């Protein structure tokens, strides 16, 4: 089997997630996040429309991750995005993260606004760091694979 290293052309992929956090470009970030070609930024959720609308014509599609399960967007947010001609795809945050990475690797003009999947991050759900950990490892594994926590064998989905 031949493996090819995924190239993101300077953009940061979403490497993982867990209760209340996302791992983006090797850094654990708490809470909701917006990630685009400009990089990751904090996002305050559905009521924080300005950064989503500012993406405007810089992207072809915005993936909105609604947390652990798919859920409808508030009507006001959907109407505001449609009024600005922002293409929107709604999905659960894990699916949105994987889809974002695939299209990012293809050089597409995309962004993702992601709500976390649960509560605060904890030691039972942490990604490998330090000696022997590869920052490219997550990009090389199948999107539905999991990483084992070195401290206790718990698993975190990617």
**Which CATH number characterizes residue 113's domain?**
3.40.1230.10
- Render pLDDT for 19-48 as a digit per residue (tens, 0 to 9): 999 999 899 999 999 999 899 999 999 999
Work out the average pLDDT over 60-86.
96
146/158 Cα distance (integer angstroms): 6
Asked, for residue 12, whether it belongs to a domain, the answer is no
Per-residue pLDDT band at 119 (split at 50, 70, 90): low
Residue 125 · residue 154 · CB < 8 Å: yes
| Contacts with 14 (C-beta within 8 Å, 6 or more apart), sequence order | 22, 23, 24, 35, 97, 100, 101, 112, 114
117/115 Cα distance (integer angstroms): 7
113/22 Cα distance (integer angstroms): 11
Asked, for residue 111, whether it belongs to a domain, the answer is yes
34/38 Cα distance (integer angstroms): 10
Is the pTM above the cut of 0.85?
A: no
Q: Which structural domain, as residue segments, surrounds residue 79?
A: 26-119
How many CB atoms are closer than 10 A to CB 121? 20
57/55 Cα distance (integer angstroms): 6
- Render pLDDT for 142-151 as a digit per residue (tens, 0 to 9): 333 333 333 3
Asked, for residue 53, whether it belongs to a domain, the answer is yes
Q: For the chain, what is the domain count?
A: 1
Q: What is the DSSP letter of 55?
A: H
């Amino acid at each position: 089997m031949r493996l090819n290293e995924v190239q993101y052309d300077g953009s940061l992929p979403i490497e993982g997630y867990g209760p209340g956090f996302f791992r983006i470009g090797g850094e654990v970030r708490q809470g909701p996040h917006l990630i685009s070609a400009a990089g990751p930024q904090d996002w305050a959720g559905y009521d924080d429309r300005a950064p989503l609308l500012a993406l405007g014509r810089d992207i072809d599609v915005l993936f909105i991750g609604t947390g652990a399960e798919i859920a409808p967007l508030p009507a006001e947010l959907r109407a505001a995005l449609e009024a600005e001609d922002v293409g929107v795809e709604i999905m659960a945050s894990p699916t949105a993260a994987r889809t974002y990475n695939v299209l990012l690797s293809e050089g597409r003009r995309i962004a993702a606004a992601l709500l976390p999947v649960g509560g605060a991050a904890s030691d039972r759900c942490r990604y490998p760091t330090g000696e022997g950990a590869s920052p490219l490892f997550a990009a090389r594994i199948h999107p539905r694979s999991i990483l084992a926590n070195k401290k206790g064998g718990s698993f975190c989905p990617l």
